[in-house]
Structure 1
């Protein structure tokens, strides 16, 4: 069985989608380790409930415990913990840090990321909010979500799964976020399966 390490920062609803899929034929792999950048991330509870080992590596805590250390050294520490989990695949599922080359160069297995936008549109943080705002100004007709390979350029890696999501006239940002999250729960499983089969 292929080993999957998942990096999270928040509620872990996409992690839950992967956990559920790993207990069925939909995902040919097992989540064997979850690393969070926040100690209060609910995803840690989801992982514990599923019997998956977890670890926390928070940037602020790391820098406090290691005076004079840098963000690059933090990324190297995250990479070390990830590689110690012996993954066949690393999935960024709501991981809220942009990873530096220090991390990417140390990981010798595929890394995929879930991003709530279409390729080339709204790279980086707050993608859903920016798409919603652009729709309000008549600049875009819709948005989407994708799973892509992670490269040094933020959200610019090869897309593995892309889904368009209509923005409905009159809907709230929260309603759009809910619909995009539903799509994310499907495509993160599909993207992980494609990456494991490659």
Structure 2
């Protein structure tokens, strides 16, 4: 088999991760084999092990990449606002836009967590909780300020994130509504849900 462009070093690792996302999204993690992955990248099957120890390690790496990027992008987002309502609207907009633009990452991070072995799962779950804490803090600040009613913050955060993440599973660029319109609808739904 001829070596593909970028089939050495960091380029190969990037190609492996990119191909893995594509294959997992299309076939599911359990159905994807490292042999298929090697063929997709254009390397010998045994070469994959130079870059990943196992399928589980590869899945954890993909999930961690997604979670680290998600956390970092939220933290550096400007213009979130100072009050809880503005911050909640900013969170809704950020979450929807980020997830729509990275559908494969979302499919893997949400649908394949069940496939991740226990040895690798804790780290990913910790990062998820760290991201979700941003929303819980916004809701908590809103409760303290008297603009949101008292609510179980963990349940509310899970419900909101599930609704927002779900958008990437049905959104189509050629659909009836633009991303901005979908964000506006969800901002209203979330605010109505927490304000009452």
What is the TM-score when the length of structure 2 is the normalising length?
0.28
| Greater helix fraction, Structure 1 or Structure 2 | 2
| Structure number with larger C-alpha Rg | 2
What is the TM-score when the length of structure 1 is the normalising length?
0.28
| Greater strand fraction, Structure 1 or Structure 2 | 1
